């Protein structure tokens, strides 16, 4: 599993002209499921993102996680995080999971993140979505459950 995690002051996602989810301060998570991902990858990503300390404490240091900062998460499915652009100019997506597995793990990720007590808004799996956000910092972190970067 891979994610691009952005600290935001606000974010929202629309599809077909309707607002699906939105948050104020928190994390915008673009989540992509790999073809070999399983429950271990899922648990790693939930734990890592849940406890990621990218919010400022009273001294201005990034020491707080999203819950400590009073934030929420907007999770958007994004198979493109599995893209490989090392050859040529068109990314290959062969590492991305098939839609059935990807949707199951995406849904489980959102459910498990909610189970930690966080407010989690989502987009719609396999939909063309318009995501708007105000990146705070900017702070962007790449996370890979296989730890390839």
Whole domain around residue 34: which residue ranges? 2-144
Q: What is the pTM of this model?
A: 0.96
- Decide the pairing of beta strands 55-56 and 18-23: unpaired
For the segment 107-128, the average pLDDT, to the nearest whole number, is 96
Is 73 part of a structural domain of the chain? yes
In a domain, 16, yes or no: yes
pLDDT at 149: 83
Label residue 148 by pLDDT band (50, 70, 90).
confident
The CATH number assigned to the domain holding 45 equals 3.50.80.10
CA-closest candidate to residue 74, choices 134, 142, 27, 17: 27
Dist. CA 74–CA 14, nearest whole Å:
12
Residue 149: inside a domain: no
pLDDT tens-digit map of 42-72: 999 999 999 999 999 999 999 999 999 999 9
H or E element, residue 13: strand 2-15
Question: In this structure, is residue 106 part of a structural domain?
Answer: yes
Instruction: Establish if 124 belongs to a structural domain.
Output: yes
Within a domain: residue 108?
A: yes
- Into how many domains does the chain fold? 1
Is 137 domain-assigned? yes
Strands 2-15 and 130-144: antiparallel
- Ramachandran angles phi, psi of 144, nearest 5°: -135, 125
């Amino acid at each position: 599993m891979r994610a691009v995690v952005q600290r935001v002051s606000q974010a929202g996602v629309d599809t077909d002209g309707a607002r699906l989810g939105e948050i104020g301060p928190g994390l915008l998570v673009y989540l992509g499921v790999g073809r070999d991902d399983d429950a271990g990858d899922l648990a790693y990503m939930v734990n890592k993102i849940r406890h990621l300390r990218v919010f400022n404490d009273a001294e201005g240091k990034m020491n707080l996680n999203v819950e400590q900062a009073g934030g929420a998460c907007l999770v958007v499915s994004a198979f493109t995080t599995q893209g490989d652009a090392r050859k040529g100019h068109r990314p290959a997506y062969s590492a991305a999971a098939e839609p059935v597995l990807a949707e199951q793990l995406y849904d489980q990720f959102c459910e498990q993140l909610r189970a930690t007590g966080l407010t989690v808004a989502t987009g719609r799996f396999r939909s063309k979505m318009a995501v708007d956000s105000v990146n705070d910092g900017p702070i962007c972190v790449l996370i890979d459950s296989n730890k390839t970067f």
